[in-house]
Amino acid sequence: MLVLLASGQAVTGPELASKLGVSRAAVWKQIETWRKAGLDIASGPQGYRLAGPLEPLDVERIGAALPSHVRRRLGTLENHWRLDSTSSELARRAAGLPDLSFVFADWQQAGRGRRGRQWLSPPAVNLQFSCLKRFAGGYAGLSGLSLATGVAAARALEDCGTPGIALKWPNDLVHDDAKLGGILVELGGEFMGPCHAIIGIGINVHLPEGVRAALDRPCTDLARLCGGDAPSRNALATALVARLVEALEAFDASGFAAFAQAWMARDALVERRIRVEGAHGTFDGIAAGVDARGALRVHTDGGMRVIDSAEVTVRPE
């Protein structure tokens, strides 16, 4: 049914029922399912109409648009209409997939963010995917991986005409403190090596108002940042795959050191008053960038503290 609505033009209930070979009641039920999933579908005398056109992902098109040196290194490249989570799919199949495999999904029904949060995204309007990267060493060598991934994602967005993207430690892409995307890194394999990382990324391309209102923090999307003309989902996917393949190979060779300068140039927190909430309590301080491992440095009344994992919010001045 979404294919018939994908152009953004109005289609009547009887037309949909006839083309699909179902009853009008079945059409109405499916429309309500899409609405509950977050799609903005208007109804009126002209029929049902999506707020904007949908662009299906085309992995053949994405693969063909990649630079040849990236294509040579790429593992599996897949897109699924519906998954619980792209990261969960990679985790289930990690043992049998090649290095630098990418799994996209038009609709994640159980997408995950940090600290067990759900990643909310309606079908086929945003971009969500995961990448499998293998490492010969152990977990200790992967400090700063989420930050390096953030740099790669920001560069891909710049490639697609969206400058001004900042990075909020440890895993958010933001614009003027509004969240544009997020990164979740999950590790598997042997603690001392070899191991692998499953890197999940979600980018808001078109965020319906209903979904925006359900979120617990300021969010934005590429459509808003680009004056209503967001980059193509396929072009954005191509840029992200290309930048990530290059970045992950650089990280494998040199660790976070290869990204430290680029991270500092995009640091959304540096020299700002923040609140840190973690396993060791809550405290306020002034963000002072990150150390060589990518850990957050915070000036407090009691001296400098270094934080490996925590929830960080910007405090009003």
* Least confident among 9-18, 57-66, 171-180, 291-300: 9-18
Q: For the domain that residue 171 is a member of, what is the CATH number?
A: 3.30.930.10
- Both 224 and 307 in one domain: the answer is no
Strand ranges (E), 2-76: 41-44, 47-50
- Both 163 and 279 in one domain: the answer is no
- Both 88 and 214 in one domain: the answer is yes
- Both 182 and 231 in one domain: the answer is yes
- Both 273 and 260 in one domain: the answer is no
Local confidence band at 120 (pLDDT 50, 70, 90 cut-offs): low
* Least confident among 28-37, 62-71, 222-231: 28-37
Number of domains within the chain: 3
Separation between Cα atoms, residue 261 and residue 276, nearest integer Å:
24
Separation between Cα atoms, residue 158 and residue 242, nearest integer Å:
13
Q: For the domain that residue 33 is a member of, what is the CATH number?
A: 1.10.10.10
- Predicted confidence at residue 8, as pLDDT, reads 76
Top-confidence residue, 275 or 119: 275
Domain, as residue range, for 307:
269-314
- Predicted confidence at residue 178, as pLDDT, reads 94
Top-confidence residue, 229 or 121: 229
- Both 112 and 134 in one domain: the answer is yes
- Both 113 and 238 in one domain: the answer is yes
Q: pTM for this one?
A: 0.90
312: which strand partners?
A: 276
Q: Which residues contact 14 (CB under 8 A, 6 or more apart)?
A: 24
Give the dihedral sign, CA 90/92/98/99. Answer: positive
Local confidence band at 110 (pLDDT 50, 70, 90 cut-offs): confident
116 has pLDDT over 60:
no
Can you tell me the mean pLDDT for 175-189? 95
Convert the pLDDT of each residue in 200-218 to its tens digit: 999 999 887 777 777 778 9
Q: How many CB atoms lie within 10 A of CB 228?
A: 9
- Predicted confidence at residue 33, as pLDDT, reads 86
